[in-house]
Structure 1
C-alpha cells in the first residue's frame, strides 16, 4: 500500500501560474551523510513534488530501502544483476525505454517472472518538459502496452522522467494518466560507460549515502554497479536494512 500526499489539483487561472507550472527542473538533491536523510529542501521544487504525489523518499523512520534501475539500453550486465537480486532475494523496479522493450523482451519477461516491477521510462527518452500532454500520453502508452503484450504485468503505475527533467505540468499530466513519478535519494554518476572507476568506487558511492527510506538509483549499463551490487546488498542487510518493493512504500512528509 502506498500512502502519498493527497491534494486537490487546482486549475491554473492566470498566466503567471501557468508559466510556473511549465518551468523545467533538473532533479537534484543534497546527499545523505552519516545516515541522515537526503534533502530536496534546497532545490526549489519540494512543493511541486508534494502536490503531485511524487516519490523521492520512503519512510525515513524505518530502515527500508527501495532499489531502482534505469534501463535505457542493454550493456550485457542485466542478467548478472538479476542473478544477484535472486541470490539475495531483493526486489527491484526496472524503468525501461521503448528501445529496451523492443530489443530485450526476454529480459523483460525474466524481470517480471522473478517478482520485479517494470516502470515507465518513456518510449524515446525525451525531455518531457518540452513535449505536449498528448505526446506524453503516446510515449507512456507505447511502453505500457508493449510490456503488457510480452509479460503478465497488467498495469504500469510508476514513471521515471528521463534524465530527471520535469515540470509541474508534466507531473500532473502523468498523474492523471495513473502514474506516480519516482525520483531518488541515492545516486552517483554511474551512467557513463567510458568512465567506470571500479567496483569499490560504486560500493563506496552508494554505501556512503545509505539512509533509512532511501530510493536508490542505479544504471544497469554500469559494470561497476554490477560488480558491487552483491556487496552493497549484503552490507546493507548486515546494517539492518530491509529491501522492499516500491509497491510497499509508505511515504511521510519530506
Structure 2
C-alpha cells in the first residue's frame, strides 16, 4: 500500500511539472531583459550572427540588425544622448559626401539642440526615437509609462518640425525583451539594433584616429547597420576618411527607409 502511494505521488509530481514549468518558462522568456550583441565573423566582410536568445523572434517582432546583405549597402546611425559639440562637423561631412544617416535622439536632446535637429531633417536625415529618459525599455512593466517614453519624444519632435517622427526606435543601452519589441511594434515601430559598434562613447578616453578607422572599416559588411556615437571627437575627425574609404571599396550608404521588409 505504501509503495502504491509513493508511485502515485511521483506521477502527480511529474504531471505538475509537465503542466506548469513550460508555461512559467514561456512567460518568463517573453519579459526577460536581454542585452544586444552580435557574433562577429572571423571572415572580413561577412555579416555577423545575431544573438541566439532572440534571433528566432527578432524579425517577427519588427527588429533589425541587418539590412540588404545581398549587396554592398551600409546604414549609418548615430546615437544622440546629449550634445558634445561634434554633431555640426558630422553633418558637414555627411553633406559634403551626400550620405544619409539616422540620428536616434532622446527628448532632452530635441529640447536642448533644436537647431541641430532641424538641420538634420532639412539635410535629409532621419531623426528617430531613442526614448525620453534613456531607460531599459524591458524593465518598464507599466504600459502607460512605457508608451509615454515613446510618445513624449514624438510630441517634442512634432512640435519642433511640424511632422510625425519616423517610426524607428533604438533601444537604450541595447536592452530589450520580446515583450517590449512587440509593444514597440504595436506602436508602429521598427526596432533598430546594429551589426557593428565599438567603444567610442567615453569622451575622456577616446580611441586614436588610426584605431577607429581600422576598427570601423574592418567591421563593414554588406547590409551592415553601423552604430557610432556623436559625442565621440574621434568619430567626427575620422568620419570623412571612413566613408570615403568604404565608398572606394564599393559600398553605398542608404537610409533606414530602404531596409528590406
TM-score (norm 2): 0.88
- Counterpart contact for 2:82–2:109, Cα < 8 Å: yes
Following superposition, the deviation at residue 34 of structure 1 comes to 1.2
Conserved? CA contact 1:93–1:116, under 8 Å: yes
1:95 and 2:104 matched: yes
1:17 pairs with one of 13, 26, 29: 26
CA distance in 2, matches of 1:187, 1:29: 10
Other structure's SS at 1:35 match = coil
2:106 and 2:86 map into 1 onto residues whose CA distance is 16
Q: Which has the larger radius of gyration?
A: 2
Contact residue 28 and residue 43 of structure 1 kept, 8 A: no
Hey, what's the Cα distance between the residues in 2 that align with 1:115 and 1:216? 18
1:31 Cα deviation after fit: 2.0
Partners of 2:108 and 2:132 within 8 A in 1: yes
Greater Cα shift, 233-242 or 193-202: 193-202
Please name the residue that 2:136 is paired with.
Answer: 127
Partner residue, 1:46: 55
Ranked by relative contact order (alpha carbons within 8 Å, sequence separation 6 or more), the top structure is 1
Kindly indicate whether the alpha-carbon contact (under 8 Å) linking 1:112 and 1:152 is maintained by their aligned counterparts in 2: no
Q: Is the 8 A contact 1:199 1:228 kept in 2?
A: yes
Q: CA deviation at 1:155?
A: 3.3
Contact 1:112 1:153 in 2 (8 A): no
**Structure 1 length as normaliser, TM-score?**
0.90
In structure 2, stretches of 5+ residues that fail to align are 1-21
Shift of 1:14: 4.1
Is 1:84 aligned with 2:128?
Answer: no
How many pairs were matched up? 238
Q: Which runs of 5+ in 1 are unaligned?
A: 1-12
Q: Does 1:109 align with 2:97?
A: no
* Distance in structure 2 (CA, Å) of the matches to 1:101 and 1:52: 28
2:194 paired residue number: 184
Native 8 Å contact 1:71 1:94 kept in 2: yes
Q: Please, what is the CA RMSD of the aligned residues?
A: 1.4
In the alignment, the residues of structure 1 paired with residue 75 and residue 163 of structure 2 have an alpha-carbon distance, to the nearest angstrom, of: 19
> In the TM superposition, what is the alpha-carbon distance from 1:137 to its structure 2 partner?
0.6
Q: Give the 3-state SS of the residue equivalent to 2:243 in structure 1.
A: helix
Distance across 2 between alignment mates of 1:14 and 1:30: 30
Aligned counterpart for 1:29 among listed residues 38, 44, 60: 38
- Which structure: greater helix fraction? 2
Contact kept? 2:157, 2:165, Cα under 8 Å: no
